[in-house]
Structure 1
Amino acid sequence: MSADHLIREILRSKDATGVIVSHLPHIRWICGFTGSTGLLIARENKFNFLTNSIYETQAALEVRGAVVHIGSHPMAEFAKEKGLVNSSDRLIIQPEYLTVAEFTSWETTIPGISFIPIENLLNEHVAIKSGKEIAGMRRAQAISDAVFKVILQYIQPGVRESELSARINYHHLMLGASKMAFETIVASGLNSALPHARPGDRKLRSGEPLLLDFGCMVDGFASDMTRTVHLGEPSDKFSRAYEAVRVAQERAISSASAGMELSTVFQVAQDTLKEFGLNEFFIHSLGHGIGMKVHEWPLISSNSSAILHEGYSVTIEPGVYFPGEFGIRIEDT
């Protein structure tokens, strides 16, 4: 379904006069804008895109299907001055993507205006990736896969976590990534028990594990992967835990199919880890959507009510963590 047709359906179903789209990836999905400042006011027969003068040229090049307006913050005052909104409007908003300050600005600038907050307004539609989007993500992932192969030669005792992180970032950029998708995680030894550890001055040591979590952006699409390796001979505890995580991921990926509740996919991994007696050490969700951002809707967790649909792109990343000892995570998109 096209974005304009979808918006019209939403407006009619909610008896609304317009939609304020404030989440930048959703704005990009609708009209193509890739900058960092913008707002889309979508009505049944007209879309208006608002941004500032920094993005005037970029908006002219990128925006499709919407009239571009160049102004200044706050956006509510700008929209009022342009006559794009008025006090009789009933506007749908994305509450999870609108700050309290922004919402207050709209209410005080345009007295009498009505808002209809709807969570997950466009998430289900944006989550279905087109062939072009999937191709972009594959290009990004191909670079990350290549970097992992290159980086293996640098995984040696005495190398600092921060140095290895810098090399991972460097090789991504040299292979064509525009930037990293998130802060690279390089966690050695006991630091690997911290799911979102930051690389520091700690040096890699023989006899210890190393957890690497990284991804990049290519043509506006993200990659995300995690690998756990071991310097030297691993202990029996590590080997058994690694096998548990590997099997949990394999089973979760194999079980995932269109029409399945995401909580069921999570449960497959959880049950597998329980077979190994390690489910209590699995302390985060199983995965997340990925596309124009590295973390998108939906979340694959025990309480997720979302249904997996054809075209969704998600990560599967089970892990176990033993505080003060080590952690293991394996992630693929």
Structure 2
Amino acid sequence: MSTIPLPAPQPSDHRQAAAGGQADRWTVQAVLDWTTGHLADNGSESPRLDAEILLAQARDCRRIELYTQFDQALTDQQRSVMRDLVKRRAAREPVAYLVGFREFFGIDFALTSDTLIPRPDTETLIVELLDLARQLTAPPAILDLGTGCGCIAITIATQLASAHVSAVDICPAALEVARSNAETHNVADRIAFSAGDLYGPIPPDRKFQFIASNPPYVTTAELDQLAPDIRDHEPRTALDGGADGLDVIRRLVAEAPGHLAPGGSLLCEISPEQADGVGRLVTEQPAFRTPRTVTDLSGQARVIVASID
């Protein structure tokens, strides 16, 4: 395997291409195969998927279209773009940042390095919230704390046409991304975005049927042990939950009863190892009933649901 990603064309390449020479060998199939091996050698956990996503970006096509283009040669421009993408991915820059989006709950969300990359784990929270909200007879008011790219707030707004959604983030740059995503998905007029720290921007008398959050819950020690894709590229403030991973969750739980309507619920994403600890935080608050744990598709505790009477 070559050690130089997708070599730049030499002056004679175009003449050789006409005769089936050097340039022709960089077909879609060849580039996918080479890139898959190169990314695997550089630590990617999903090298073939990464290769397909990056090549689709370089060719400005859908990933599925690559399967009908295996014999097509890349243009010089496409090869140049692909070389840059592969170099950055081999340095462990996340694919979602390279292409500028990530799919979540069937929706594409634009991303920047100011926003955490949405993960399938958070879809567990969405499914549970939707199930609870659809049991209500009146349109629910829903608060998303730490909205990031807006994936929770926007997904809820697209799924519940009558919901009144508010979204808060401490990072103004992340809020701009969330607002842009809301406009893209035609729900900007139904989500109130605010900059601030957790409940800070919320008026004391404002009550919600649901408060949802995917807060920072990685311990500071664990953060330094994460894969470089995460540790070196995703926003640390969206990951670092302090010494025990519960710094932000403590505040979420303690202040939630003051912002929940009667019968309302806090839904908080957690690490499976934190289920007992977060459960204790909830039981320390007299306003909450006994908390309930929701498992993800792998059977691990992923969401704590804490409701008041």
Query: TM-score normalized by structure 2?
Result: 0.27
Please state which structure has a larger fraction of its residues in helix: 2
Query: TM-score normalized by structure 1?
Result: 0.25
